[in-house]
Amino acid sequence: MASKIKRVRTGCWTCKKRRRKCDEGKPECNNCVKSGRTCEGYGLKLSFDVDDSRNNGKEQVNAKGQVVHGFRGRPRLKESLAKRDSQIMTPVISTDSKDSETTVDKVSKSEGKTAVDEHLASLMKDAPKINIMEEFHIFQDLFPSFLFDSEMPSFISDFNIEQPTTPKTDAEHQLNTDPTTQQLTDIEENMMLKHFFKRLLPLLDAHPSSPWPQLALKYCDFEVAKSCFIALSCIHLYQTRGAQEFFRTGMRHVNNTMEYLIDYLRAKGDEDADSLVIETIIKNLKKTSLEKQRSNSFVILLLIHVHFLFSVLESGRSALVRNFCELFAAIVKDSSFRSYLDQIDESSTVIANISWFDTIAAVVSPDCRLPYCDETWYGTKNTPKSTTRLMGCPGEIFRCINRFCHLRRDLKQTYNVIDINVEQKFNAIRFDLINYREYVVFQSDDFEYEYDKRLKCAQCWALAVLVNLYKLVRPEDTQSLNGFIDEFISVYSTMESSSPLITQMVWPVFTIGCASKSVHQRNNLKKFMDTLFEQVGMGTVDTMRSIVQECWTTGKEWEEILQGQEWLPAGIDFLVV
């Protein structure tokens, strides 16, 4: 029997360029021989020059006339990003020297370094010297199921195979990987990726081992997945550190990915339509080969999920929520796509996650839109995949929120609160919310958190829905409303602020905050919101604080604020998750 190949982090330069494990066969490795590639051997090279197409062609010189090698640093930003930055308040970095630069976008005249360079340098000064190209094997170490090129469904290459309705150049179809537009060096990319996996990922949900990054690496092109991780990491660092360079880099990476997705969807849609026509997209998706339409459908869901996460990290504002939620629901409801999704392990978790975002975006929509998702996608206490395991709120309570959205829409259309039907629906939803204990499993090894913590989490979510329900049907019952708010404050304050069950409880804090009237209530909710922002550093929490404060200052309801010119009329939805 042939001995098993031992995989190591060294090998021929062909495998290193491809970021693949090498069997180190001599004189040529077996990987290269089997794949028909030329093995470049094992000679000594500078690792940071590997796979760097900027080293091809004539030599480049810097401002001093010196020849430079490897990565060139950050180019000037495009006009679109510069325009966006001009609308943003420039954060200030506190320094001891009065003569030092204070704004993050200024460059040190003596060294030519940005504030991000200095920040990264301070983080790295005590770090050991490492080979960054080898460090990229972190993905294969974290995710053993990461696929090789021959096994990976190529979402990106789809445009090279099929011509879209509107002819475009290859450069317009493919992901923008032009090295001259990249700002991050390998070591900076590596730090962004480590920040994503170690710091940010645990904040995005309460799942003990969030599956979507692994799925992204498995089903997406590697560069697409990496751009997603870096975009999310950069925008989170921008929110927590305040450096605009992080914002620019994050926007560049997310635009790179999202523009590709939108171009792809438009190519599958109607060329004469101004917006995405979901029915046409689904119809044209089915015209592709069975393998490609299935893999592409799941990659679309993953990229939709990434867009939502980016919006949450940035400000919670998004103009694509409705289009993407409608497309998501159309894909999952389609029997041919769903049969394939059911074969993918953890796909139910991704579906539950997007359903969570869809439902919360619907419940705060000022025009009372309905969720596009199906009630069954939330899961229940008896299903292995559910919102309970994902972020703490039982799927049964999410069903109540879904039913509340329908009741809210019906009342908006009929304006008849005094109705037997309305009273019956009110009592049914109220009864299910009061029975929140029934949706929490007492003992189970499958759950990450203790029973009492999960019970308190369910109680807080139920109270938040009850406040909305009473404000809709029985707004005059201020005694019950104040009782729900005070009970929420009492329960919420006993939970650890760093608990993932708390950090996912954004909408309940928002709705309770907007409904708070007394000084006691508002002081507590202000403390909750400030602490939550300190814990997660997400833009949606900052936007939430602004809206709640406006409710307190002006006496407006949140619905009226979200109907303002910068929200609904502009096509903007609020992702308060």
- Express each pLDDT in 9-31 by its tens digit: 467 888 877 778 888 888 888 88
pLDDT at 201 exceeding the cut of 50 = yes
Q: How far is CA 2 from CA 6, 32, 108, 112, 262, in A?
A: 12, 19, 59, 56, 49
User: How wide is the angle at C-alpha 253 spanned by C-alphas 114 and 577, nearest 5°?
Assistant: 105
Are 437 and 455 contacting, i.e. CB atoms less than 8 angstroms apart? Answer: yes
Percent of the chain, pLDDT > 90? 43
Please state whether the predicted TM-score (pTM) of the whole model is above 0.85: no
Q: What is the pLDDT of residue 102?
A: 33
Are 224 and 156 contacting, i.e. CB atoms less than 8 angstroms apart? Answer: yes
The CA-to-CA distance between both ends of the chain, in Å, stands at: 55
pLDDT at 51 exceeding the cut of 60 = no
Q: What is the pLDDT of residue 26?
A: 80
Q: What is the pLDDT of residue 316?
A: 96
- Please state which of the ranges 95-104, 122-131, 276-285 shows the lowest mean pLDDT: 95-104
Q: What is the pLDDT of residue 215?
A: 87
User: Greater confidence, 269 or 414?
Assistant: 414
456-472 pLDDT per residue, tens:
999 999 999 999 999 99
Q: What is the pLDDT of residue 34?
A: 83
Alpha-carbon distance of 518 to 521, in angstroms, equals 5
Are 284 and 269 contacting, i.e. CB atoms less than 8 angstroms apart? Answer: yes
pLDDT at 98 exceeding the cut of 50 = no
Average pLDDT, the chain: 76
Rg (CA), the chain: 26
Q: What is the pLDDT of residue 38?
A: 87
pLDDT at 365 exceeding the cut of 70 = yes
Percent of the chain, pLDDT > 70? 71
Most confident range, picked from 95-109, 116-130, 264-278, 475-489: 475-489
Q: What is the pLDDT of residue 247?
A: 87
**pLDDT band at residue 273 under the 50/70/90 scheme:** low
Alpha-carbon distance of 564 to 572, in angstroms, equals 10
Q: What is the pLDDT of residue 576?
A: 97
482-500 pLDDT per residue, tens:
999 999 999 999 999 999 9
Give the start-end residues of each E strand in 432-576. 573-574
- Which domains are seen in the chain, by residue range? 1-52 (4.10.240), 144-345 (no CATH), 375-574 (no CATH)
Task: Give the mean model confidence (pLDDT) for residues 159-182.
Answer: 34
Tokens of 482: 């104040």
- Please state which of the ranges 133-142, 210-219, 409-418, 542-551 shows the lowest mean pLDDT: 133-142
**pLDDT band at residue 45 under the 50/70/90 scheme:** very low
114-146 pLDDT per residue, tens:
444 554 455 444 433 333 233 333 333 333 333
- Please state which of the ranges 58-67, 188-197, 341-350, 454-463 shows the lowest mean pLDDT: 58-67
Q: What is the pLDDT of residue 289?
A: 74
Are 39 and 28 contacting, i.e. CB atoms less than 8 angstroms apart? Answer: yes
Alpha-carbon distance of 515 to 512, in angstroms, equals 5
Task: Give the mean model confidence (pLDDT) for residues 68-74.
Answer: 36
Are 117 and 188 contacting, i.e. CB atoms less than 8 angstroms apart? Answer: no
Contacts (Cβ under 8 Å, ≥6 apart) of 534: none
The helix/strand/coil state of 9 is: coil
Contacts (Cβ under 8 Å, ≥6 apart) of 121: 113
**pLDDT band at residue 240 under the 50/70/90 scheme:** confident
Q: What is the pLDDT of residue 123?
A: 45
Q: What is the pLDDT of residue 3?
A: 45
Report the largest interatomic distance among the alpha carbons of the chain, rounded to a whole angstrom.
Answer: 85
Nearest to 228 by CA among 246, 255, 209, 202: 255
Stretch (H or E) spanning 382: none
Q: How far is CA 552 from CA 34, 488, 515, 521, in A?
A: 68, 18, 9, 11
For residue 573, the 8-state DSSP code is: E
Q: What is the pLDDT of residue 398?
A: 98
Alpha-carbon distance of 480 to 466, in angstroms, equals 9
